[in-house]
Structure 1
């Protein structure tokens, strides 16, 4: 059992208050320059789009802004238990600069980030700074009361106390004690308020969430339809294959019982035929099980499963895998069969003689690219294998991008958001 401790308003111990103050101060020191830099670079880069320079720089700048916002999402969840969903639209890895620029600018999440940055450099900075100052400022009052007042210039003010001697210095210490009392209650709340303000500005709107639910509903329905079709295929394969062989084998064995005394030679031939039928039925059952969920996928993971798939290909196939862990079993299964379908298309329709497969995981995204040197012309259309792959990936919020000019080469890129264990 895992117990999650949140640094929100519920934590009011001395250690929790001190930690919240340090975090608030550190956040303030990063928030102001980070938000100013991101906002300035974004405005300049977008302004340079008409002359072409911004087409190249804007995707890089917006990627940095997203990383800055995602970092704050992580801190909000880890420090205060404030969950801020990320709803960026995926951009195909092989998109050109023009497509990446206007794809990112057309994403509502991008404009939420840009609205958030000015608020973050003002109200966000102040709320984070107050979380740190509310605890650290009383320490100055205690230091003044302890004798620091002697080296301070005349007319020094601590809060509303004018420090002119030991008596007023003790007053500053008393004020510091009062501030410390309030800091005990308000420092964690100020830090939480900072992240709640961030959530208000960065979280997707109800309309976007409704659209997201609609898309997920469609993909889940496609997944159910696909599962039903898969069950019908399995039933058909069993009926036409292994089941028919087993029935024939039973009939042969019945005939053997009758011929065992009358015609031993004929009986031996039928036994050999039954033995071959049992071997064929077993091979068909193994192929069927492998088509449902390959054993190597369950035992060794996606990387080794794709390598095993490449070894069975009738043409030269190179596989490059960089997966530091394993994804959830449904994600691995979807990715495996997606790769299998793309490879089948390359062999059947692409007329390629070489295939390159690349699997890696970066920034919470499993990315798979399959490239062949065939004739090209692959498209995602109704009834095509790639359309089925797109539906399969859509179940997991994945995307499919195909680049296949006439004459080749063909590159199929698949991306599935997931975490690795």
Structure 2
């Protein structure tokens, strides 16, 4: 049997056990705290205090659910769709409260919390126990049993083995070996069961089609509005930039023509200025074209375009792309490129990061892009942030955005777009 594959499998099992242990703690304590805070906040809504606290609490619930979606996709490739209704930027507290309470996705999250606190905790604890519980059996077999008994009575139970002496302690050690062997085969699948349970509760039910139509309608409207705004920006940039320079250059050329014989020195001076204006106009046109659709994206594809983007970043940016040599449709590549560009800009401008990692891969019909930085954290979707714009951009293609950004960092922004590669 291949030793490398065996050691690799052992690492996978150990990592699954550690992840399951972390999930068990998050499921028990995180869901419990959020459930209590939600109940208290909703009870004080009639008093007015809840109108202020409820949006914050429900946003924390959504972040808790989105973190589970992110971990499900990254650890077990279980995709859990998020279908939250957008909230207008700058909305007042009571508007945010009633918008969130009127969203079916909010109530799915709230129904999930008590189930996650109990069943989610158990389904995460079992794979963790398979990995770490054998350690107790080994410790008992190697003498720890003496701490619990003097050899005349049963002082400890390991599973179904009563440990009262060295003989029974060895049986506990053998049981530990059996559990460890079982963990080798069962831990990763059982960890996946935890996420499948989560998906069954967080995924929209029979109203999914209607919800999907509503979301698509809103994202399409956002796309149309965004396209109109982009056209206005292009028109404004052309009018105030390149067009103005070209007009000035034309006037200079007319003056040069008149001065060419009367005042050659002045004509040469105007020629230099016209040449500078033409260079500046050309540079502005190139920047404008790059903002619409970068040439490297059209010629080389998404992977090389993001690498070129990384080279222009003021901080060290590492890009890894595993796209199998294929390319997505041009609109999808453009949306992904500008989404990555916006995330990188946020990481430098707002997070204060000095190192960024970009990972792009395509698997099972989904383009997944993760951007991780070592900045200060605290990023969140909503409130008119740039991440809200990215979410709307991706939503046009049925894409999703997940953000994990605890205080102090690091921040991980994960984007997924369903697409096929040519």
For residues 367-405 of structure 1, the C-alpha deviation after alignment (integer angstroms, 9 at most, x for no partner) is: 779xxxxxxxxxxxxxxxxxxxx999965779xxxxxxx
For the Cα contact (< 8 Å) 1:144–1:172, is it kept in 2? Answer: yes
TM-score calculated relative to the size of structure 1: 0.56
Question: Structure 1 stretch 53-62 or stretch 280-289: which is displaced more?
Answer: 280-289
Q: Using the alignment, how far apart are the partners of 1:393 and 1:158 within structure 2?
A: 51
Alignment of 1:29-48 (within 5 A): 29-48=25-44
Q: Using the alignment, how far apart are the partners of 1:146 and 1:279 within structure 2?
A: 88
* Structure 2, gaps ≥5 residues long: 1-5, 292-308, 315-337, 346-375, 397-411, 415-422
1:146 is matched with 142
1:215 is matched with 218
Q: Using the alignment, how far apart are the partners of 1:210 and 1:204 within structure 2?
A: 13
Q: Using the alignment, how far apart are the partners of 2:165 and 2:109 within structure 1?
A: 51
Compute the RMSD of aligned alpha carbons. 5.1
For the Cα contact (< 8 Å) 1:365–1:419, is it kept in 2? Answer: no
Query: Across the two proteins, how many residue pairs are aligned to each other?
Result: 313
For residues 287-309 of structure 1, the C-alpha deviation after alignment (integer angstroms, 9 at most, x for no partner) is: 686488479x999999xxxxxxx
1:172 is matched with 172
1:355 is matched with none
Alignment of 1:78-227 (within 5 A): 78-92=74-88, 94-150=90-146, 151-152=148-149, 153-154=153-154, 157-163=157-163, 165-203=165-203, 206-207=208-209, 208-223=211-226
Q: Using the alignment, how far apart are the partners of 2:390 and 2:160 within structure 1?
A: 66
TM-score calculated relative to the size of structure 2: 0.56
User: Does residue 65 in structure 1 map to residue 61 in structure 2?
Assistant: yes
* Structure 1, gaps ≥5 residues long: 1-9, 257-264, 303-325, 334-359, 370-389, 399-417
Once the two structures are TM-superposed, the CA of residue 200 in structure 1 deviates from its matched residue by: 3.3
For the Cα contact (< 8 Å) 2:41–2:54, is it kept in 1? Answer: yes
For residues 127-174 of structure 1, the C-alpha deviation after alignment (integer angstroms, 9 at most, x for no partner) is: 111111112222333333334445344285433334455444433332
- Tell me the SS of whatever aligns to 1:51: coil
Q: Using the alignment, how far apart are the partners of 2:135 and 2:344 within structure 1?
A: 55
Q: Using the alignment, how far apart are the partners of 1:167 and 1:332 within structure 2?
A: 62
1:54 is matched with 50
Question: Structure 1 stretch 276-285 or stretch 157-166: which is displaced more?
Answer: 276-285
For residues 6-64 of structure 1, the C-alpha deviation after alignment (integer angstroms, 9 at most, x for no partner) is: xxxx9963233223223322332332122122112212221222232321221222233
- Tell me the SS of whatever aligns to 2:262: helix
Alignment of 1:319-330 (within 5 A): 328-329=340-341
Q: Using the alignment, how far apart are the partners of 1:301 and 1:138 within structure 2?
A: 49
Question: Structure 1 stretch 201-210 or stretch 50-59: which is displaced more?
Answer: 201-210
Identify which of 239, 242, 245 aligns with 2:246: 242
Q: Using the alignment, how far apart are the partners of 2:391 and 2:163 within structure 1?
A: 69
Question: Structure 1 stretch 73-82 or stretch 29-38: which is displaced more?
Answer: 73-82
Query: Bigger radius of gyration, 1 or 2?
Result: 1
- Cα pair distance change 1:82/1:148, threshold 3 Å: same
- Tell me the SS of whatever aligns to 1:49: coil
2:402 is matched with none
- Cα pair distance change 1:232/1:46, threshold 3 Å: closer
Identify which of 245, 260, 268 aligns with 2:262: 268
- Cα pair distance change 1:294/1:134, threshold 3 Å: same
Question: Structure 1 stretch 91-100 or stretch 180-189: which is displaced more?
Answer: 91-100
Q: Using the alignment, how far apart are the partners of 1:252 and 1:330 within structure 2?
A: 45
Q: Using the alignment, how far apart are the partners of 1:26 and 1:90 within structure 2?
A: 31
User: Does residue 19 in structure 1 map to residue 15 in structure 2?
Assistant: yes
